[in-house]
A and B are shown apart, each in its own frame.
Chain A
Amino acid sequence: TQLLEQSPQFLSIQEGENLTVYCNSSSVFSSLQWYRQEPGEGPVLLVTVVTGGEVKKLKRLTFQFGDARKDSSLHITAAQPGDTGLYLCAGFMEYGNKLVFGAGTILRVKS
């Protein structure tokens, strides 16, 4: 059982559509991160959210940390083919120093 559950596992959409990826847990995290990973490469950090209820925007990407610090979402507006990749959420548990990853969401944006 994954500590961080991501949904959906796979998403295939047309260019220009909006989408949301979810990351849920029953545990509290001191912070949560979102990464993007392309084939043959390591994950690249997109954002870190620390405060419950926090919202961060990175161009067309909006990240939200749940009020209880147990969940997070990633929303992409007007998706582009260049957004294609594996999106991973990862978090530090409240009293730990290990990064725990979800299984990831594979996003494919078709032109």
Chain B
Amino acid sequence: GAGVSQTPSNKVTEKGKYVELRCDPISGHTALYWYRQSLGQGPEFLIYFQGTGAADDSGLPNDRFFAVRPEGSVSTLKIQRTERGDSAVYLCASSLTPDLGGETQYFGPGTRLLVL
């Protein structure tokens, strides 16, 4: 497809488990972003990649969260020892270049994570 895709669309896990969330950006987009959206809130920035490197990971809440983008395309957000408070929609977005106030970010549909 032409848009940003995310898998799985829904993930239910138990507290303490490890989860991986995948994002396929639009082909050719060099910048990739992860956001977390809790119920009743707007998206909250987690991390952004320029190519393969994490240019800004200041939004990651703690060291249980980690993200990679080894080949500069697909990215995986990894959450260790999940907690109930991690339950949220995890959104991925990509843009042609880093969005320094101008370039449009295109969002995927999100992965709905529920930690029981």
Task: Name A residues whose Cβ lies closer than 8 Å to a Cβ of B.
Answer: 2, 4, 30-31, 40-45, 48, 50, 88, 90, 92, 97-104
Contact = CB atoms under 8 A, between A and B. Distances in A.
Interface residues of B, number: 28
A20 B107 CA distance: 25
6 contacts: A42-B107, A45-B105, A48-B101, A48-B104, A50-B101, A101-B42
Majority SS at the chain B contact face:
loop
B1 interface: no
B113 to A, nearest CB: 14
A104 B48 contact: no
Q: Which of A4, A40, A50, A99 has the most CB of B within 10 A?
A: A99
Given A41-B109, A92-B101, 17 more contacts: A4-B42, A41-B107, A42-B107, A42-B109, A45-B104, A48-B102, A88-B42, A97-B55, A97-B56, A97-B100, A98-B48, A98-B56, A98-B59, A99-B33, A99-B45, A102-B42, A104-B41
Contacts of B35: 101
B45 A42 contact: no
